[in-house]
Amino acid sequence: MRIFYIISALIFTIGPISHAQVPNDKYLEIVDYEELLTLFNVYEGDSLVQKKIIDIYLSRAKEDNDTIKIARSFDRLARIFSSKKNISYADSLIDYTRDWKHITYPAIGYIIQGYEFGVLGEINESYNKYLRANQIAQLNQNLTQQVYILDRLIFLKVAFGDKEKALKMQEDRDFIVNSKMFEKSYAASSRIGVNDQISSFITEQKILSVEGFILCHLALKNYEKAFLYLSKHDELLMNLDRNKEDAFIWGMDAKMEFHYYNKNYEAVLESALELEELSVNYGDDYYLLNSYLFHGLTSVSQNNWLEAKKYLTQAEELDLINNNRFMPESKVLLFEALKRVSEHENDPEGQIYYLDKLIELDNLRLENYIALEPQFIRTFETPRLIKSKEDIIKALQLRNTRSYVVIGISVFLFLFFSALSYYFFRQKVTYRRRFEKLMKDDNSHRANNSKSLNNEAPIIISNDIVTDILKRLKRFEDNEDFLKDNVTLIALAKKMHTNSSYLSRVVNSHKLKSFSQYLNDLRVQYAVSKIKSDHVFRRYTVEAIASECGYNTAASFSRSFYKKTGIYPSFMIAEVNKQGEN
């Protein structure tokens, strides 16, 4: 489960951006300080442009001898580079403001370092930096900083430390968020122009507080209490003005885990499939990763071993691609389940491999637990895991002394590689047929009007509204607005001056598909057309084509392309290029 994607005006999050033309030096020299910070936010993700903007901000602040703005410059520079470089800039910020009695500084320097050490996996350093930041935030009575720091400390306690302590800290955080002083503290610690966001910020923090309780109670196996907070999460979600999609998909993910721990396996599978579909357009593979994990775990519980291996393997591979996004507890579940699959397949090497993974993970958990909870002694699993590994190795050695095993393995390998060769041959033939069909297919990417997609009770929409939405959808297709990377049902409905329910229903009934399918089909058909006709486009990398077509990752683009066409984009590019050579 995603632990904390904290949306806070405090640090790090600025929101979705749309890169405009890079501002020239003359323009940057004449705009005021606030406009420079606004531009800095607009170019989030482009560190070169952001550094150029903040260098001008810093130079001007030094000329004006404005110490606060100088500190603010170091603050911004510590957010835009690699973790190690950001830590170095945060050091400069801390040194510059070390003796200040200021509501923001130097605490925010330690907060930045805590975050970046966490990214680097240096849990002890991250924990200590947050503790130091919390001391300063308490001294300066900055409740906004305290709330953020508590979120991070709770995350570390849930992941690596004492979960009862995490719950106690969560109760402290919730008390602050619901206090009358919290709103005043946020207003006092925010820059001018941010105060109009107070109501939304407070609601977001209350939702995050509920999410913290859910995480703590799930970790402590207090499932009834977790369910009560899940209901409260749904209630608060109705009052949220911004970042609603984030909170919605988080809640769905939490419910999937809740159903699993309560052995409601049908609900787990339903949630996992829905989460998998939603994650395609969400722009973050974490939820896809977690849906694979719990789909696989549920399949193990149902003794559906083929399905279990498929989804657990996908989860393991996607976790590696995403730089080990899984929490330690999730990794334990994953490796133990894959070990069970190896046992079912009578695969001792696989069992040993995942036992080694569990031993390595257990040692890491012990190391981090000692760092976070030095006064406690905790029994970990390493001795039992080592004993299991030794037993399997002995059994494997005994089996390998028998000659018939060698013969059996040889025969198996021969059959396996023969079957594998045949499989790849058949796959190539299948891909070739699909490619030829795709090259002959001149159908437009526009969806056909027809009967309703499903049998749900219809929402009554006037013909005028339907006609207007269809016209706007045609304009959306003609202008190729589907290539933008921030298209969502809610955002498009707002742009079309209608509501998401109407738009979804019109797409379902007139395009015969869900909104996400409709959007992906438009993008894939665009990619197919460009690959067919544009030799320059075919020289792009798959990552570049994915970005051109509105996808955030090459993986999500390739999945959508395969689902629509039955082949991968790399295969189509190679085949079209071959035709050009012949």
pLDDT tens for 456-472 read 545 678 898 999 999 99
Q: What is the pLDDT of residue 404?
A: 53
Q: What pLDDT is stored for residue 338 in this prediction?
A: 94
pLDDT of 285 reads 82
- For the chain, the structural domain boundaries read 463-581
Q: What's the average model confidence in pLDDT over 215-219? A: 93
The pLDDT, as a whole number, for residue 444 is 41
Contact 203, 221 (CB under 8 A): no
Instruction: Give per-residue pLDDT as tens, 339-396.
Output: 999 999 999 998 889 888 888 877 877 777 776 776 544 444 455 556 565 666 666 6
Q: What is the pLDDT, as a whole number, of residue 393?
A: 65
Query: Quick one: which of 214, 230, 218, 219 has its CA closest to 163?
Result: 219
More confident: 314 or 183? 314
Q: Is the pLDDT of residue 199 over 50?
A: yes
Give mean pLDDT, residues 448-461: 53
Confidence class for position 94, pLDDT limits 50, 70, 90:
very high
Q: Phi-psi region for residue 284, left (φ > 0), alpha (ψ -120 to 50) or beta?
A: beta
pLDDT score recorded for residue 448: 43
For residue 3, pLDDT beyond 50: no
Q: Which fold has domain 463-581?
A: Arc Repressor Mutant, subunit A (1.10.10)
Highest mean pLDDT among 186-200, 434-448, 509-523: 509-523
Segment 104-115 mean pLDDT: 95
Q: Is 56 helix (H, G, I), strand (E, B) or coil?
A: helix
Give the per-residue pLDDT at 216: 95
* Helical (H) or strand (E) element with 337: helix 328-344
Dihedral sign computed on CA atoms, order 196, 198, 199, 200: positive
- Measured CA to CA, the distance from residue 542 to residue 565 in angstroms comes to 16
Task: Give the sign of the dihedral formed by CA 85, CA 91, CA 96, CA 102.
Answer: positive
What are the b/e assignments for 332-353, b being 16+ CB within 10 Å?
A: bbbbbbbbbbbeeeeebebbbb
Look at residue 573 and tell me whether its pLDDT is greater than 60. Answer: yes
User: Are 306 and 318 within 8 A, CB to CB?
Assistant: no
Is the pLDDT at 217 greater than 90? The verdict is yes
Lowest mean pLDDT across 24-38, 423-437, 483-497: 423-437
Q: Each residue of 16-34: pLDDT tens digit?
A: 334 456 778 888 888 899 9
Let me know the angle formed at the C-alpha of 417 by 412 and 418, rounded to the nearest 5 degrees: 95
Instruction: Identify the CA nearest to 104 among candidates 76, 132, 131, 144.
Output: 144
- More confident call, 397 vs 258: 258
**What angle do the packed helices 198-219 and 244-261 form, to 10 degrees?**
10
Among residues 99, 96, 111, 98, the alpha carbon closest in space to that of 142 is found at: 111
DSSP assignment of 61-93 equals: HHHTT-HHHHHHHHHHHTTSS-HHHHHHHHHHH
Residue 254 amino acid letter = A
pLDDT at 379: 44
Q: With pLDDT > 70 as the criterion, what percentage of the chain qualifies?
A: 81
pLDDT at 577 over 90: no
Specify the pLDDT at position 13: 35
Closest CA to 277 of 267, 266, 286, 288: 288
Asked whether the predicted pLDDT for residue 192 surpasses 80, the reply is no
For the chain, what is the radius of gyration of the CA atoms?
A: 27
pLDDT range class, residue 449, cuts 50, 70, 90: very low
Q: How confident is the model at residue 419 (pLDDT cuts 50, 70, 90)?
A: low
Task: Dihedral sign for Cα 158, 160, 163, 166, please.
Answer: negative
So what's the pLDDT on residue 486?
85
Instruction: Round the average pLDDT of the chain to a whole number and report it.
Output: 83
